[in-house]
Amino acid sequence: MTTTTAIATGPAAAANPQINQVPKGRFFANQTFHFETLRGAGYTLSGGADIGEVMATVSQIADNDQQSWFAAWSATSERVYQLAERTQDPLSKGGAYLRAHGYQRTGGFLLPPDDPKRPASWEKEVNYFYKGLDAMGVAYERITVPYEGAALRALYLPGPQGAEEKPLLVLVGGYDSSLEELYLVIGKAAGDRGYSVLIYEGPGQGQPLRDGLTFTHQWERPTGAVLDEFERLHGEAAKIVIMGMSMGGYFAPRAAAFDERIDGVIAYDACFDVAETIRPIVAALASNPMALKNPDVAWSYKNALWTMGTRDLEETVQAFAPYTLRGVAQRIRQDVLILQGTDDHFVPFHQATDFQNALVNARSVTTRIFDRASGGAQHCQCGAVTLVHAAVFDWLAEKFGSGSQA
């Protein structure tokens, strides 16, 4: 096994920044509001946002007010949707639909799971996305995957001629992703580079969650069902690399540990022990009954109840306990790429090292660390997806390119 570690750096950061009500370099003082804005704005690269529209929207939002957040983003989404409807140029039209999708997703993200506005927001979010792909002439196939008496969603985007010589890139999200978002994160970028892409949702995500399926720590089950259905429709892929975003940094390695069809795995970012990531929320709720007034705590906890199908804090803590790669990572024999930001506010930084050290049987392990000066220090390098693309596609070329022995 070979192990390499690299750090992506940028210009030196200024020392002792001036402290304002909204810290310098942030959209909002609140961490969740800032991060989710950065996340949505980062999709400018793939057509899911435009920075002027983002800045106009955040100027209308009251910090810590989730309803204000939804109202502003959904209003922008509606304006951009109407722009798409009256635009004739196909690429401009499709781009406007994708931005309308992105803003609707960002707005609905912070609504409580039981908010009555959620179902209509979700329907718009999905609808606008496919109107965008259709307007731009993007080739795709929506796949319904049979899964243990229910169904999962998958999206296949075939690459250009020659894509069969590259690995099929399989993408899965985490605690809060939809498959449409993953197209904006890296699906489009992969297609631009000649890869075929398969994106899917498992239990606890996207539409399956809304259909009543909650998370399972045995992620090889939904992944296996997706790969089985893909093979039934399209035959076996020559190589498969699975990439998991956020909590997908647990899901993707877990699937790779139990499915020999997978040749490579990307943890984006590392998520070695999910239970550890919820401890700050548990501590806040246990010590302060008013903690749910904090959007950071409220969103994380309410989303846990929804996605895990739990009823209270104690049950939720118990439900998260099996979501760890301890005792699992040694089963992974594939090539592994680990990404991690130094300022990740969800996953403790040491988990990247924990995961790397546990991969004792992997064919190779490469770890890429992104610091604050590089712009990629946040969780999943949100706002700096160009750094992710450079790291991922260089690694894919090295491990699975022409002449590779992988």
Q: Which amino acid appears at position 334 of this protein?
A: Q
- Beta-carbon count within 10 A of 161 CB: 8
Tokens (6 digits) for 190: 């992969």
CA distance 50 to 62: 21
CA distance 50 to 280: 34
Tokens (6 digits) for 75: 């209003």
Question: Which residues are paired to 364 by β-bridges?
Answer: 2, 335
Residue recorded with tokens 């893909």: 230
Max CA separation in the chain (angstroms)? 59
Phi first, then psi: give them for residue 336, nearest 5 degrees.
-130, 135
Q: What is the CA radius of gyration of the chain?
A: 20
CA-to-CA separations, 241 to 248, 258, 264, 394, in angstroms, rounded: 13, 14, 4, 14
Catalytic residue of the set 246, 300, 364, 374? 246
The sign of the CA dihedral 130, 135, 138, 141 is positive
Cβ partners under 8 Å of residue 10, min gap 6: 371, 373, 374, 375
The answer to whether 287 is a known catalytic residue is no
Q: What residues are labeled active site?
A: 246
